């Protein structure tokens, strides 16, 4: 039986919230949140999504590749890059939703195309990256964002199939994305990669071994890739979100009969992070303002990792 503390840690730490709660919602155990910590309140309001497109913006002329951008963090990042003038090519498994997101970006004046791809499948990833280069001539920035969660379970009760599905999506998917992004970046003289990690890449949380292991792997892959290609003008960093306001998080909070206010009490900033904030953090790491930064994981949890 899972304790209330373990359940609270999974939810409030963003171990699932970083990529959504789809699988956890499918599990059958009840949920309760107990919050006793106090922390410095945050007085800043989260940013509003940027609606207008600036064709001459910060990333004008850049081609941005994003995995898993049919909703949540990936979608927000695709919209943010497009709003700053970038051409965005993104993938995801939900074809109808992907086409809707791409059309919405184009309707607002941005440049975006969607391609169905599953990051667990090497041929899909290769085709996704190659198609981007064939269509746009290059790939300047890769945001390897796609990820999934599994239902909470102890290690002894975890099925190998569940373990492999999470590891293959979250860790192997990042490896495959970099494997096929990097050769194009080398040929064009450089590029930037940002991998989506998690607070779970730094902290262990009971009952989500595959997710924690996969995100620790993302951190290691990021450091290794950064060392391998730093002298060839390719910067590789990662970002560690906590709980983020995505559609899946909202559905999960409803399923567990809790709310943002309760969950946010375990974060020093006392609120849930918005996807647009994660997008802006990814854009910072992708920009010339971060020209000397490589091999780093950016804490975007709202202070959770500083406690």
Which residues carry out catalysis? 211
How far is Cα 103 from Cα 100, in angstroms, rounded to an integer? 5
Under a CB-based contact definition with an 8 Å cutoff, are residues 77 and 282 in contact? Answer: yes
Length of the chain: 307
């Amino acid at each position: 039986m899972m304790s209330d503390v373990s359940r609270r840690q999974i939810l409030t730490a963003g171990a699932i919230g970083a990529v959504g709660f789809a699988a956890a919602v499918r599990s059958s155990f009840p949920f309760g949140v107990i919050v006793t910590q106090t922390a410095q309140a945050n007085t800043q309001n989260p940013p509003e999504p940027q609606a207008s497109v600036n064709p001459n913006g910060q990333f004008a002329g850049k081609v941005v590749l994003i995995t898993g951008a049919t909703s949540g963090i990936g979608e927000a990042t695709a919209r943010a890059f497009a709003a700053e003038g970038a051409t965005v090519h993104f993938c995801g498994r939900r074809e109808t939703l992907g086409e809707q997101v791409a059309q919405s970006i184009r309707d607002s004046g941005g440049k975006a195309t969607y391609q169905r791809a599953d990051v667990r499948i090497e041929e899909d990833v290769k085709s996704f990256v190659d198609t981007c280069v064939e269509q746009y001539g290059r790939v300047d920035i890769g945001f390897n964002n796609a990820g999934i969660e599994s239902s909470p379970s102890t290690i002894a009760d975890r099925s190998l199939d569940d373990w492999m599905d999470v590891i293959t999506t979250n860790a192997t998917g990042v490896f495959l994305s970099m494997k096929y992004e990097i050769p194009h970046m080398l040929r064009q003289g450089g590029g930037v990669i940002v991998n989506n990690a998690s607070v779970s890449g730094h902290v262990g949380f009971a009952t989500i071994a595959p997710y924690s292991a996969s995100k620790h792997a993302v951190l290691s892959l990021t450091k290794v890739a950064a060392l391998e290609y730093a002298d060839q003008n390719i910067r590789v960093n990662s970002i560690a979100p906590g709980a983020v306001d995505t559609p899946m998080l909202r559905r999960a909070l409803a399923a567990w009969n809790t709310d943002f206010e309760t969950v946010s009490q375990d974060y020093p900033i006392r609120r849930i992070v918005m996807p647009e904030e994660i997008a802006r953090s990814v854009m910072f790491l992708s920009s010339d303002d971060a020209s000397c930064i490589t091999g780093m994981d950016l804490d975007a949890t709202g202070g959770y990792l500083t406690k």
